[in-house]
Amino acid sequence: MSVTELFPIVVDSNGDLPRLIEPALPGTPEQIVPWRGDKIEEAVQRASILAGTPIGHLPAQLRAEVEYRLRQERPSLLHHEDLCTLVEDLLIELGHPRVALAHSRERARRIALREVEAARQFPVLDQPELVPAELLADIRARVAFARLGLRLVLDEDRLMERLLRSVSLDLSPSERRETIILNAKSLLDLDADSRFFSARILLTFIIRRNPSLGGD
pLDDT value at residue 95 = 95
> 81: which DSSP letter?
H
Summarize the confidence of residues 81-85 as an average pLDDT. Answer: 90
**Most confident option among 6-15, 43-52, 136-145:** 43-52
pLDDT value at residue 26 = 55
Distance (Å, rounded) from C-alpha 96 to C-alpha 101? 9
Instruction: With beta carbons less than 8 A apart as the criterion, state whether 59 and 42 touch.
Output: yes
Q: Is the pTM of the predicted complex or chain greater than 0.75?
A: no
- Residue ranges per domain, the chain? 3-121, 128-213
Instruction: With beta carbons less than 8 A apart as the criterion, state whether 100 and 46 touch.
Output: no
Per-residue confidence at 16, pLDDT binned at 50, 70, 90?
Answer: confident
